[in-house]
């Protein structure tokens, strides 16, 4: 498949990861870092102050099979891994985002399943300074922290790329990365984010 975008070691494919992942060799990806659909069937989410709403498509009606993701990667960081207990091995290596929501209705924490080989670690910071352009978007600084926790140096893959936060974080750290996204509108947003200046690092508090 021809890339939607390819520049400075960052590649985006616009398509279904179920079609693209089989073209990758087993163990060819140093780090799979992704936030797959949880299969919770939500049709609408209200983010931030409630003034911005996102509508999910059919892609969130069922959970994906993570077998191919586990096969192509040597290390993995899977946000929402607690929703995939039926597919993922038991681990003590969770990454935890403490959101400091200050009474908002969303969960105070989000969990990422990893096989990094260390105990659970917490990143504590309220979202600030970034416009949310996807219903499950994470802060760039959080994803940079995840990459650093992995202690990897090679190719990064996000097969559920969304608005491109993983690729943006990889670029900021000088890493090569591949993103796969089924919706072209989010591929376009990701490209625009990649063209922005490198964002300053935030220190968790």
Residues 123, 133: Cα–Cα separation, whole Å: 22
Question: Within its chain, how far is the Cα of 127 from the centroid?
Answer: 16
Q: What per-residue confidence (pLDDT) applies to 58?
A: 56
Domain 5-194 has CATH 1.20.140.10: no
Q: What per-residue confidence (pLDDT) applies to 135?
A: 84
DSSP 43-94: SEEEETTTTEEEE--GGGSSPPP-HHHHHHEEEEEEETGGGGTTTS---S--
Give φ, ψ of 29 to 5 degrees: -110, 125
Q: DSSP 3-state helix, strand, coil percentages of the chain (rounded to 5)? A: 25, 25, 50
Q: What per-residue confidence (pLDDT) applies to 13?
A: 98
Q: Where are the domains of the chain?
A: 5-194
Q: What per-residue confidence (pLDDT) applies to 196?
A: 86
Q: What per-residue confidence (pLDDT) applies to 107?
A: 79
Q: What per-residue confidence (pLDDT) applies to 42?
A: 47
If the chain, 205 residues long, is cut into consecutive pieces of 10 residues, what is the mean pLDDT of each piece?
96 97 97 89 47 53 90 97 95 93 72 95 84 87 97 97 97 97 96 81 49
Q: What per-residue confidence (pLDDT) applies to 149?
A: 97
Q: What per-residue confidence (pLDDT) applies to 191?
A: 97
């Amino acid at each position: 498949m021809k890339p939607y975008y390819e520049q400075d070691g960052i590649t985006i494919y616009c398509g279904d990861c179920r079609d693209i992942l089989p073209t990758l060799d087993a163990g060819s990806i140093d780090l799979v870092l992704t936030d797959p659909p949880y299969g919770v069937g939500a049709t609408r989410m209200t983010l931030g102050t409630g003034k911005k709403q996102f509508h999910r498509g059919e892609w969130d009606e069922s959970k994906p099979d993570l077998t191919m993701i586990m096969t192509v990667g040597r290390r993995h960081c899977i946000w929402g891994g607690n929703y995939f207990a039926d597919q993922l091995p038991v681990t003590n290596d969770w990454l935890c985002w403490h959101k400091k929501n200050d009474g908002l209705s969303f969960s105070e924490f989000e969990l990422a399943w990893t096989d990094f080989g260390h105990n659970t670690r917490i990143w504590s910071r309220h979202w600030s300074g970034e416009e949310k352009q996807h219903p499950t978007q994470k802060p760039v600084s959080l994803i940079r922290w995840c990459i650093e926790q992995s202690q990897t140096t090679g190719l990064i893959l996000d097969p559920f790329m969304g608005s491109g936060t993983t690729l943006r974080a990889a670029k900021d750290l000088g890493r090569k990365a591949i993103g796969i996204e089924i919706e072209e509108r989010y591929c376009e947003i990701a490209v625009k984010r990649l063209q922005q200046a490198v964002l300053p690092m935030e220190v968790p508090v």
